[in-house]
Amino acid sequence: MSQSYDVIVVGSGPGGYVAAIRSAQLGFKTAVIEREKVGGVCLNVGCIPSKAMIGAAHFLHKLEHDSKEMGIKVKGDVDVDMEQMQKWKQGVCDKMSGGVNQLLKGNKVTIVQGDATFKTTTSIEVKSSKGTETLTTKYFVVATGSRPIEIPGFKFDEKDVLSSTGALAQDEVPKKMVVIGGGYIGLEISSFMQKFGAEVHVLEAQDGLLTGMADPECIQVVQRKLKKSGVNLHFGAKAKSFKKSGKSLEVTFEKGGKEEKIKTDKILVTVGRKPNSDQANLKGIGLAIDERGFVKVNEQRRTSIPNIFAIGDIAGQPMLAHKASHEGVLVAEVIAGKNRVYDAKTVPAVIFVDPEIASAGWTEAECKANGHSDLKVAKFPFGANGKAVSMMETDGFVKMIADAKTHVLLGVHIVGPEASNLISEAVLAIEMGARLEDIALSIHPHPTLGETMMEAAEATLGHAIHIIQKPLGSATKRNGSGARA
């Protein structure tokens, strides 16, 4: 006899496991199906392991570059033991995945291990080494995520041609690495591999890094620092093919109409991710899928089949874990009959490069496209913040964009230390419809990086204390110390 549930969640990443826990909290008999490890890509082969590696690389960089000036003497060589680092990193992932397992069990969610295939709109078959079982349910939540895109001529084998998963599992630092794609993943991995000692070449098809993915001034800071630290950036460079001779690889790419070649030990391909909508027989049961491969959903994340919901990477951009988790709570509450829709004003985005880039709300171009032609824009530099100076991390700034008449905050773009943590204040401010004065008049603790938020709001109003500003003339206008940032 098949097991029957109220809610079955397919996929246990940050979308799926959150949906399952919230469903169980709301009193539903819930199961979650997972073919690999609980926690999905994010916890096991994505966000968490990459942050572990980035953290280790940052620590190494501080030891090698800042310690002497701080008066810390390192006796002997500082070296990277990649095998030990992999063990440590795996320990971090296992702890997180184990924690999610406990949370699911503690909430009485049944974890079904295996590969799921939809049979009908209310039943699903799960295959595992133990056999095949069929489960039935009133509601499904599809949270089956995305996978890296492959490009012709560069099939992932995780030995020579790596996806992000392979790059995060290296037992040795490659001497040389060619990274195809200068987006989120390519740059996060390039940053830490370079710090561990690899010679890194980034091939980016566009004219710059992270095109359209962040505020252009923030990107400039990162681009400059990457170049200065020795990462080789090749723009307008389209990877074509590679050849292997012995252990060495040679990548051919096209740049400015000419073919160029680079020898390398490893190739990392990070040209985007695609939704897993061609799997699990989603099309077979008639689920509507758009031309980019995303499952079509409405503002409650309901699909074209009313008892099936879809969340996370499979349900559209932005493909970010925190958006998936937000949707996980949302669909459980919608199933429970609560009056909820997806109405977030902003989904923050963080790129964990050096320094970090974080943003919430609109860029200046987006503000204008959305009808705000008269803007106040200013930056406050980390170089004028005591905590940042004491950390020896002064690259970057907080940039605020507000409507010139109402002073309502429209966008915050941070490049600098702990940008990832600082951005949450901006998210709250934007969600609450805050004005510049709300941030400027809130007392921020000293000495903290958080003061840069208060001072950026003051700078946008034209009167930050710790930078010299020109007197404010007409309302549009850019203020703050761009030059120092």
CB under 6 A: which stretch of 170-178, 181-189, 397-405, 453-461 binds ligand NAI?
A: 181-189
340 near ligand NAI, judged by CB under 6 A? no
Residue 260 CB, shortest distance to ligand NAI, in Å, is: 13
Is 225 or 238 the residue whose CB approaches ligand NAI more closely? 238
Q: Known catalytic residue: 446?
A: yes
Output 80 or 213, the one with its CB closest to ligand NAI: 213
Q: Which stretch binds ligand NAI (CB under 6 A): 90-98, 317-325, 429-437, 457-465?
A: 317-325
Separation of alpha carbons 296 and 310, rounded Å: 8
Cα gap 335→366, rounded to integer Å: 34
Single residue of 55, 98, 216, 272 touching ligand NAI by CB under 6 A: 272
> HEC profile for the chain?
CCEEEEEEEECCCCCHHHHHHHHHHCCCCEEEEECCCCCHHHHHHCHHHHHHHHHHHHHHHHHHHCHHHHCCCCCCCCCCCHHHHHHHHHHHHHHHHHHHHHHHHHCCCEEEECEEEECCCCEEEEEECCEEEEEEEEEEEECCCEEECCECCECCCCCCEECHHHHCCCCCCCCEEEEECCCHHHHHHHHHHHHHCCEEEEEECCCCCCCCCCCHHHHHHHHHHHHHHCCEEEECEEEEEEEEECCEEEEEEEECCEEEEEEECEEEECCCEEECCCCCCCCCCCCCECCCCCECCCCCCECCCCCEEECHHHHCCCCCHHHHHHHHHHHHHHHCCCCCCCCCCCCCEEECCCCEEEEEECCHHHHHHCCCCCEEEEEEEHHHCHHHHHCCCCCCEEEEEEECCCCEEEEEEEEECCHHHHHHHHHHHHHCCCEHHHHHCCCCCCCCCCHHHHHHHHHHHCCCCCCCCCCCCCCCCEEECHHHC
Q: Counting contacts by CB under 6 A, is residue 328 touching ligand NAI?
A: no
Interface with ligand NAI: number of residues (CB under 6 A): 27
- Is residue 315 close enough to count as binding ligand NAI by CB under 6 A? no
**How is residue 67 written in tokens?**
């310690």
- In whole angstroms, the minimum distance from the beta carbon of 250 to ligand NAI comes to 16
If one asks whether residue 192 binds ligand NAI (CB under 6 A), the answer comes out as no
Give the span between the Cα atoms of 124 and 119, in whole angstroms: 5
**96, 219, 297, 319: which one binds ligand NAI (CB under 6 A):** 319
Q: Cα separation of 83 and 1, whole Å? A: 47
The only residue of 60, 161, 271, 422 in contact with ligand NAI, by rule CB under 6 A: 271
**Residue bearing tokens 């002064």:** 394
Site membership for ligand NAI, residue 359 (CB under 6 A): no
User: Is residue 351 involved in binding ligand NAI (CB under 6 A)?
Assistant: yes
| Site stretch for ligand NAI (CB under 6 A), options 20-28, 71-79, 267-275, 410-418 | 267-275
Answer yes or no whether residue 193 interacts with ligand NAI by CB under 6 A. Answer: no
Task: Return the residues of window 16-75 that contact ligand NAI according to CB under 6 A.
Answer: none
Does residue number 381 form part of the binding site for ligand NAI (CB under 6 A)?
Answer: no
- Provide the minimum distance between the beta carbon of 460 and ligand NAI in the complex, in angstroms, as a whole number: 26
- Closer to ligand NAI by CB, 211 or 448: give it: 211
Task: Name the catalytic one among 413, 446, 463, 466.
Answer: 446
- Contact residues for 157 (Cβ-Cβ < 8 A; gap 6+): none
Could you say whether residue 455 binds ligand NAI (CB under 6 A)?
A: no
Site string for ligand NAI, 205-234 (x = CB under 6 A): xx----x-x---------------------
Kindly give the pairing relationship between strand 146-148 and strand 273-275: antiparallel
List binders of ligand NAI among 131-170 (CB under 6 A): 151
- The answer to the question of residue 185 lying near ligand NAI (CB under 6 A) is yes
Q: Least distance from C-beta 212 to ligand NAI, angstroms?
A: 8
Report the residue from 49, 174, 181, 316 that binds ligand NAI according to the rule CB under 6 A. 181
Tell me which stretch binds ligand NAI (CB under 6 A): 123-131, 271-279, 385-393, 433-441.
Answer: 271-279
CB of 321 to ligand NAI, least distance (A): 7
Q: Which stretch binds ligand NAI (CB under 6 A): 269-277, 362-370, 382-390, 421-429?
A: 269-277
Residue nearest ligand NAI by beta-carbon distance: 183
Under rule CB under 6 A, residue 439 binds ligand NAI: no
**By CB under 6 A, is residue 395 in contact with ligand NAI?**
no
Min dist CB 7 to ligand NAI, Å, is 27
420 contact partners, CB below 8 Å, separation of at least 6: 350, 352, 356, 358
CB of 337 to ligand NAI, least distance (A): 32
Identity of the residue, 239 or 267, whose beta carbon is nearer to ligand NAI in the bound complex: 239
- From the list 169, 155, 159, 176, the residue with the least C-alpha distance to 49 is 169
Residues labelled as active-site residues: 446
Report the interface residues with ligand NAI, using CB under 6 A: 151, 180-186, 188, 203-206, 211, 213, 238-239, 270-273, 318-320, 350-352
